[in-house]
Structure 1
Amino acid sequence: MTSTDRTTIASISTPPGAGGIGIVRISGPHALALLKKVFRPAAHHCPYESHRVYYGMIVNPTTARPLDEVLAVYMRGPRSYTREDVVEISGHGGYLVLQSILELLLACGAELAQPGEFTKRAFLNGRIDLTQAEAVIDILSARTKKGVDLALEQMSGALYRSVESIRQQLVQIKALLEVALDFPEEDVEIVDRDTLLTTLRTEVFIPLRRLIDSGNQGRIIREGATVVIVGRPNVGKSSLLNTLLQQERALVTPLPGTTRDTIEEYLDLNGLPIRLIDTAGIRENADEIEQLGIRRAHESINRADLVLFLIDGSRELSEEDRHLFRTVDRKPLLVVINKSDLPQALQVRDESVMLARAIAISARHHNGLDVLRQQLFERLTGGKEQWQEEGCAPNLRQKVALEHAEQSLLRFRQGIENEVEHDLVTVDLSEALNQLGEIVGETTSDDVLDRIFNQFCLGK
């Protein structure tokens, strides 16, 4: 698969805002010619050797007005990011400077790159597969080091290798079935049913299910998990938020109803990005503004991956506590008893369902926080300290394709077990192969590709 677009594109590749340096990237057949139009090297003779850095000025060829002092590097294809001729101009990192260089290149014949177009060309030109292209998005959007590590594993081809291993097994099975179809009258059995079913189980279904199961882990690493702190007013929700974040993010007062709206911050929990939400205290007879906050609290609870249900251990449980517990006990839940530094008034035996596995902490004095963090991590990861082997964790698009492939293979296996004619069961086998091809980009439609690469920023 190669790119059929022979235009030369250009874009600013560094983020908006002031910085020490900024990069303008060019890719396409006229990249070097464009550089020669606008670049005046300091050296009298400039051979423009590939992968050599040259110092000089960007100059408007029409007006001879200098725009910036820069370093320029030319990378001859295919030894470049896109496998095309690529030029990168490193200038000062002010937006106006970089924009003026880009506008000059566009005036000289370049076209403005679309979001993700450099990476799309790398994919179309065979430098990377689609899983590696999507990993670029994950690297750019990663919120924790674990997210970066997972994305780098994908960039190295970890997911591709896992999918390709399954796909090759299916290709071999399909080839055997086709041979059996071509020679139906042979006395020798070409396809042994028991051997085929064993291969399907060990080499296809087990690794396929392992990949599907790792998708939820990958979602948490990429997107983060939503943890909502819930409880009556003044049980210490804002204090817990501040303690976990190690900063004074929420106001803490002895007055009930201080928090009138949800407060959201991200927390790095052992490499997991946690979207931590402090909610308004939920109680009856709240005023109109507080009721709006309570409504948002319920909305947050509905979206939560985990609820921290907070109780004041220095007071007896109220009917409001019990009612609120009944509204959240169907969600993944951790019950936390706060204010363990004060004399305790809870009757644990009388509330065995609610308090049986509760964690006692003091948000004010930071007691029990290590146990709480560990419990949070285990609940969100299923108690698994390590992620899937080689970091193979498909994103949602990839996971859906894997699930569709699994469904097709279940029908295929059923057909083999029931001794259905080979020409009929190969239809399901071909469908599974197409789904796996969707993941790596071999059979992916243009509209899906457009949706994927439109997620990229300009210049990447």
Structure 2
Amino acid sequence: MYIDDTIAAIATAPGEAGIGIVRISGNKALDIVDTIFQSKPGKKLSEFPVRRMTYGHIVDPDTGEKIDEVLAYYTKGPYTYTKEDVVEINCHGGVIPVKKILQLVLRKGARAADAGEFTKRAFLNGRIDLAQAEAVMDLISAKTDKGFDVALDQLEGALSKQVSNTRKKLLDMLAHIEVSIDFAEEDIDEVTLDYLFNKGTEVQREIEHLLNTADAGKILREGLNTVIVGKPNVGKSSLLNALLRESRAIVTEVPGTTRDVIEEQLNIRGIPLKIMDTAGIRETEDIVERIGVEKSKEFFNKADLVIFMLDISTELTREDLEIMELIQNKKALILMNKMDLSQRADLEKIKTLMEHKKVIKISLIEEKGLEEVEEAIEDLVYKGEVRAKDRLLVTNVRHKNALERGLKNIGEGIEAITKKMPLDFIEVDIKNTWETLGEITGDTVAEDIIDHIFKNFCIGK
């Protein structure tokens, strides 16, 4: 698909900086810049070689006013990001220079680009597929090195290749079915069904493998919502400070010091955590503290991971037992703090009540046990077949939904095969699987979904 109009946008972040960039893409990009760019030798930009950065000024041709001193270059389609002619004007950073140059470019015939329109054109013009286009924003918004690496692999087509290979197997199945339907008088049904069953289960395994990475992928993309809970004065704020390696939360021996939810972002072994230190959960007459306790419970319900802290030097209380009951069905770590003191808590009872939870002894005052805590968080994220070194992860909820529907479709197809149903019945399920997986790469996705995806991009990308 080729788009006729020419678009322009500021490609750099707003504010003061060393340079600002105005990007222009479309069949009139070079013509527009030729009317406003004056090089030192007096030549137009189009008279210089392609991809050569050229010094000059942006000048308003109607008034003769110099707008800014710039460096500009052009590249010719299809060897560009959008597969169209692209010009980039590098001017002085700051709000005024880029804004004035963009306004002049728009006045000379360009249209202001919509959010994500440069990448949308790259997709529509066939340079990248939809999964790769979505990876562009994941790269920009990556919170950790690991998240960046996964997004870069997706931009380079790792997920797309896997999906395409699986869809090719589905196409082979459809072709086999078509041949069998055309030559139905020949006795090849058993051979056909065996072939379809083997291929179908192979496709099913590949989809399941990708889905197994989705939870870890979502966390790498969006962060792990983590809440630290426990009764007052068990060391919740001290844990937050220890994980951050700085004194972010106030720590005192007075119970109820933390009265509001403190939220911080941190990186644990490549995993982005949105971690919240909450007010101690207890009955209280203090109005402000009571509001903090209610907020703690609210964040607790929304958390992906609960870190429940206990004081090993005190006996279990009613508040401790109530929290244990609340976290039974949550992904949780149990931290027994103050192991440097005499143990009074019933450790066996805790392990029995928290039978399927990881229980770790720590001492924040002696800085013991933190490595084990970080390792446990990593193990909770990268579970089963997924390991920290894996870079082919499903990070996008849209992709996960398509895979889940594809898994359902292929499962129904395999069931139809085992029941020896008519081939045209089986064909419907196989084709549905093929089309559903095509939504990931954009081969079979609806236009309104494409529009929605690119609206979430930033302007200029």
Normalising by the residue count of structure 1, what TM-score does the alignment of the two structures yield?
A: 0.95
Once the 2 structures are TM-superposed, how far is the Cα of residue 417 of structure 1 from its aligned partner? 1.6
Residue 38 of structure 1: which of 26, 36, 39 is its match? 36
- Counterpart amino acid of 2:26? G
In 1, are the aligned partners of 2:351 and 2:359 still within 8 Å (CA)?
Answer: no
Matches within 5 A, 1:36-435: 36-46=34-44, 47-187=47-187, 192-202=192-202, 204-354=203-353, 357-382=358-383, 386-387=387-388, 390-435=391-436
Q: % of aligned pairs identical?
A: 43
Once the 2 structures are TM-superposed, how far is the Cα of residue 54 of structure 1 from its aligned partner? 0.7
**1:377 to 1:36, Cα distance in 2 relative to 1, 3 A:** same
- Counterpart amino acid of 1:19? A
For 1:295 and 1:223, how far apart are their aligned partners in 2?
Answer: 25
Once the 2 structures are TM-superposed, how far is the Cα of residue 272 of structure 1 from its aligned partner? 0.6
Once the 2 structures are TM-superposed, how far is the Cα of residue 225 of structure 1 from its aligned partner? 0.7
- Counterpart amino acid of 1:242? N
In 2, are the aligned partners of 1:13 and 1:459 still within 8 Å (CA)?
Answer: yes
In 2, are the aligned partners of 1:217 and 1:387 still within 8 Å (CA)?
Answer: no
**1:265 to 1:381, Cα distance in 2 relative to 1, 3 A:** same
Once the 2 structures are TM-superposed, how far is the Cα of residue 394 of structure 1 from its aligned partner? 4.5
Once the 2 structures are TM-superposed, how far is the Cα of residue 401 of structure 1 from its aligned partner? 0.8
- Counterpart amino acid of 1:178? E
For 1:170 and 1:443, how far apart are their aligned partners in 2?
Answer: 14
Show CA shifts across 1:325-351 (max 9, x none).
222232112111112233333232454
For 1:397 and 1:231, how far apart are their aligned partners in 2?
Answer: 36
Partner of 1:13: 11
- Counterpart amino acid of 2:270? G
Once the 2 structures are TM-superposed, how far is the Cα of residue 29 of structure 1 from its aligned partner? 0.7
Show CA shifts across 1:147-195 (max 9, x none).
1000000011011110011100111110111112122223555952222
Show CA shifts across 1:385-412 (max 9, x none).
7358552425110111111111111111
In 2, are the aligned partners of 1:177 and 1:191 still within 8 Å (CA)?
Answer: no
For 1:164 and 1:7, how far apart are their aligned partners in 2?
Answer: 32
Residue 25 of structure 1: which of 11, 17, 23 is its match? 23
For 1:392 and 1:375, how far apart are their aligned partners in 2?
Answer: 20
**1:167 to 1:236, Cα distance in 2 relative to 1, 3 A:** same
- Counterpart amino acid of 1:28? G
**1:349 to 1:167, Cα distance in 2 relative to 1, 3 A:** closer
Q: CA RMSD in A?
A: 1.8
Deviates more, 1:205-214 or 1:109-118: 205-214
Once the 2 structures are TM-superposed, how far is the Cα of residue 355 of structure 1 from its aligned partner? 7.0
Once the 2 structures are TM-superposed, how far is the Cα of residue 296 of structure 1 from its aligned partner? 1.1
- Counterpart amino acid of 1:255? V
**1:110 to 1:322, Cα distance in 2 relative to 1, 3 A:** same
Show CA shifts across 1:193-240 (max 9, x none).
2222112223x1111110111111110110111111001111111111
**1:271 to 1:126, Cα distance in 2 relative to 1, 3 A:** same
For 1:188 and 1:323, how far apart are their aligned partners in 2?
Answer: 64
SS of the residue aligned with 1:428? helix
For 1:45 and 1:33, how far apart are their aligned partners in 2?
Answer: 13
For 2:187 and 2:320, how far apart are their aligned partners in 1?
Answer: 76
**1:321 to 1:394, Cα distance in 2 relative to 1, 3 A:** closer
For 2:81 and 2:351, how far apart are their aligned partners in 1?
Answer: 61
Once the 2 structures are TM-superposed, how far is the Cα of residue 295 of structure 1 from its aligned partner? 1.2
- Counterpart amino acid of 2:217? G
Structure 2 residue runs without a partner (length 5+): none
**1:173 to 1:384, Cα distance in 2 relative to 1, 3 A:** closer
In 1, are the aligned partners of 2:213 and 2:386 still within 8 Å (CA)?
Answer: no
Structure 1 residue runs without a partner (length 5+): none
Once the 2 structures are TM-superposed, how far is the Cα of residue 365 of structure 1 from its aligned partner? 2.9
Deviates more, 1:439-448 or 1:380-389: 380-389
Deviates more, 1:261-270 or 1:310-319: 310-319
- Counterpart amino acid of 1:141? S
SS of the residue aligned with 1:232? coil
SS of the residue aligned with 1:391? coil
In 2, are the aligned partners of 1:339 and 1:363 still within 8 Å (CA)?
Answer: yes
Once the 2 structures are TM-superposed, how far is the Cα of residue 374 of structure 1 from its aligned partner? 0.9
In 2, are the aligned partners of 1:241 and 1:250 still within 8 Å (CA)?
Answer: yes
Aligned residues: 457
In 1, are the aligned partners of 2:221 and 2:395 still within 8 Å (CA)?
Answer: no
For 1:176 and 1:355, how far apart are their aligned partners in 2?
Answer: 53
- Counterpart amino acid of 2:223? G
For 2:277 and 2:285, how far apart are their aligned partners in 1?
Answer: 18
